Structures are given as C-alpha cells and as structure tokens.
Amino acid sequence: MPILSEANFKELFDLYFENIKSFIYYKIGDIDVAEDIAQESYIKFWEAREKIILETAKTYLYTIANNLALNYIKHNKVVLQFEQRQNKKDGESETNPEFKMELNEFQNTLEKTINQLPDKSREVFLMNRMDGLTYSEISNRLDVSVKAIEKRMSKALSILRKNLNVSI
C-alpha cells in the first residue's frame, strides 16, 4: 500500500478543507474554532498517512474532524459544569486558602493514583484523556483491538473512581 504523498495530501486539503470546516462549524457554531479543528484534523491525518488508503481518505478525514469536534464539545461541557459548580458555592473561590488546599490535595491524590495504574491502563487513560485520542486512534497506535483499549480504560476508570471517590 503506497504512503500518502505530499501531492495527494495537498489535493485532499484543497478538495475538502472548506467542507470540513463548515461541517465542524455547524456542530460548534464558532468559525475560528472550526478552522482550528479542521487544521488539527489534517495534522492528525498526515501523522497517520502510512495507514491511509487513498479511496477512504475523505471518510477518514471526516471521522477525525467529527471526533475532534465531539472532544471539543465534551471539554466545553465539563468546563461549563465546573464553572457552574464553582458559582454555586457560597462565596467560595480560588482565593480561599481552604479551597486551594483541597484542590492541591486532590491533584496530588490524582497524580499518585494515575501513577499507580497498571502500565497499559495508564497509557490508554493518558492517551485518551490528556491527548484527546479516540479509542480507535489509540488502538491503531498501540496495534491492539478497540475492545482491548476499552477494557484497559474501564480498568483505569474503575481504579480512579475507587481511589478518588468521584464519578469519571
């Protein structure tokens, strides 16, 4: 299978960039963010060029763009929920020493717990939650099945829930 050439990449960029940007814009409603995500889609596409079959390139591009858009939406939802919880606290803010202490303790416990995860589960958890990769992308990078990725992530989340007493 031939590797995607720069000429093929440029051609695909010229053909689909505006459509992908519009596709993301309709999901998110922010043209600047849509352009950023469209560009990031092409970066991820280029990074995976060894695995791409030219006939399925358009589908692959749209899948990447869709996943990045969904990750953006999920992230913003979490941020909004966090802000709403903070606003509900009566006068408690980041300047409150007790809040800062609790936040530091939680962050330390979280780091310690993540470091104690089994290697394979920790790797999958960090690739998904920190790098924003989908299970499919992780599966391709680690050359294991998506089911194996799901199992490793489930194990990581279970350990985190148990040790942190939170829902993840």
Reported as a single tens digit per residue, the pLDDT across 45-66 is 999 888 888 888 899 999 999 9
Check whether residue 122 and residue 68 sit in a common domain. Answer: no
Categorize the per-residue pLDDT at 1 as very low, low, confident or very high, splitting at 50, 70 and 90.
low
Residues 61 and 132 in one domain: no
Parent domain of 75? 1-88
Is the separation of the CB atoms in 60 and 45 below 8 Å?
A: yes
pLDDT confidence band for 160 (50 / 70 / 90): confident
Q: The domain that contains 64 carries what CATH number?
A: 1.10.1740
Distances (CA, A) of 54 to 14, 49, 66, 97: 15, 9, 19, 56
Q: Would the pTM count as exceeding 0.75?
A: no
**Residue that finishes a domain, picked among 88, 111, 126:** 88
